[in-house]
Amino acid sequence: MLIRKLLRTAWGYKAQFISMILMITLGMGMFLGFNMEWKTIEVDTFKFFDDTDYADYRLYSEKGFTREDLDKIAAIDGVDRATRYLSVNLDIKGEKNKSLALDVSEDYTVSTFMVTDGAPYDKNGDGIWLSDKFAAANGYRIGDRLSLAFQGVAITGEIVGLIKAGEHMICVADKNQMMPDYNTFGFAYISPKKLRAVLEEKIKSDFADELKKSNVPEEFIDDSLTKLIVTDKMLDEATDKVFAQMNLISDTEKEPLEKAIHDALGRTIMVTPKDDHIVYQESQGEAEEGKTMGSVLPVLFLAIAILTMVTTMHRIATKEKTQIGTLKALGFKNRRILRHYTSYGLLIGLVGAGLGIALGYGVCKLIMSENGMMGTYFDMPDWSAAIPSFCYPVLIGTVLLLTLINFLSVRQ
């Protein structure tokens, strides 16, 4: 009988009940959705960074790094892995307003990539591993040839694999570009062996340019080039110059690491932690924004729901004094009658929580999915939703709090 009475009363105050349920749904939905968003960012991006050996520190030197420099830094206590690294933006030959960030990880122990299709990485390979999103946006396929303009020579090779890389999870040309645009800019990797072959061609090209400046006859230039022997020493010097960056994996704090590097190399170089790298910086910024939204918006919606509940339940209890007296006359005890009116708040809380959970998952997927809002910003393989562990007790506690507030509203 009391259940039918509950439903009749709810229908009689349907506008107020719908308003309370809607506010609770929005509050819990926003709480769960935005907390799931930042947690998903943390879990999925950190996993991607681990899978692609994302660098903790980046070292820069205008004069470049030698193999000896690398050995000295790798020997520093606290440095787990280190590699000389090249990342340079190059135009695609034959394509207007299209360019790539060309990367080379010499030892391929830091700042690696994940192959989504095609051949695995080969340190002696002659091919090009291209961003899968850039390839899809521009119609490139495995087996196509790509040519990049590099310091007067061409880097030409076959696309052997499509990839994603932690270093380019947010693929922008520089800090002036706000959003990735894969129609015009992407990234690619080549092997150290291919880079060395390109540098050999560059040495020959520079030699020919010098002869041309001296007005040497063309036939003599061709003859000189066929006789030119590019030695390992010449290639090593050229390689040292282009590797102006070194990437490290280390848990050491920045200041002691800087001192150790200075002592090892005998010179001061620029050391930047991952917090200053645009990919890590922006991903953590998005997570912090989600935390803020998840803590502010729900409070507003739940506060409105609580105020509506207090006034509505007080009005119901006051208006139904005659019915309460009738129930007492029929033998219903005060405790049971109070439990009946308290169940209104429990019902509202449970319905609002159920709808809020569905809304929260929808909000998370709307933001954090390959086809969602962040899908245009992040380029990563896994978009599995994650939920912070504290969300479960908070949701249960909110329903209990609403029930308690309802109990206090009608108790007198």
Smallest CA-to-CA distance from 248 within 263, 223, 270 is with: 270
pLDDT digits (tens, 9 = 90+) for 346-400: 888 888 889 989 998 998 888 888 888 888 899 999 999 888 888 888 888 888 8
Q: Identify the helix (H) or strand (E) that includes residue 159.
A: strand 153-164
Q: For residue 91, what are the β-bridge partners? A: 99
Cβ atoms of 102 and 150 closer than 8 Å: yes
pLDDT digits (tens, 9 = 90+) for 239-298: 889 999 999 999 999 999 999 999 999 888 899 999 989 899 888 888 888 878 777 777
**Lowest mean pLDDT across 59-73, 177-191, 212-226, 336-350:** 212-226
d(CA 194, CA 148): 13
pLDDT value, residue 230: 60
Q: Which helix (H) or strand (E) holds 272?
A: strand 270-273
Q: Compute how many other C-beta atoms are within 10 angstroms of the C-beta atom of residue 175.
A: 9
What global pTM score does this model have? 0.83
Decide: residue 251, CB within 10 A, 0-12 exposed, 13-18 middle, 19+ buried: exposed
| The residue type at 28 | M
Say what percent of the chain tops pLDDT 70: 83
What's the CA gap between 303 and 402, in Å, rounded? 10
6 pLDDT band, cuts 50/70/90, is: low
Question: Distances from the Cα of 235 to the Cαs of 68, 196, 258, 312, in angstroms?
Answer: 15, 7, 29, 82
Which amino acid type is present at position 143? G
Beta carbons within 10 angstroms of residue 290's beta carbon: 23
What pLDDT, on a 0 to 100 scale, did the predictor assign at position 330?
Answer: 67
CB within 8 Å of 144: residues ≥ 6 apart? 158, 159
CA angle centred on 294, ends 288 and 300, rounded to 5°: 135
Across the chain, mean pLDDT equals 84
Q: Are 290 and 391 a contacting pair, CB within 8 Å?
A: no
Helical axes 391-411 vs 334-367, angle rounded to 10°: 150
Q: What is the model's pLDDT at position 11?
A: 65
The answer to whether the CB of 50 falls within 8 A of the CB of 259 is no
CA angle 396, 398, 403 (to 5 degrees): 100
Q: What local confidence, expressed as pLDDT, does residue 1 receive?
A: 46
pLDDT at 368: 87
In tens, the pLDDT along 190-203 reads 999 999 988 888 87
Which of 20-24, 211-215, 273-277, 344-348 is least confident? 211-215
Q: How far apart are CA 130 and CA 113, in angstroms?
A: 10
Least confidently predicted of 56-65, 171-180, 188-197: 171-180
Task: Please answer whether residues 348 and 21 qualify as being in contact, where contact means their C-beta atoms are separated by less than 8 angstroms.
Answer: yes
Task: Tell which wins on pLDDT, 120 or 217.
Answer: 120
Q: Is 77 helix (H, G, I), strand (E, B) or coil?
A: coil
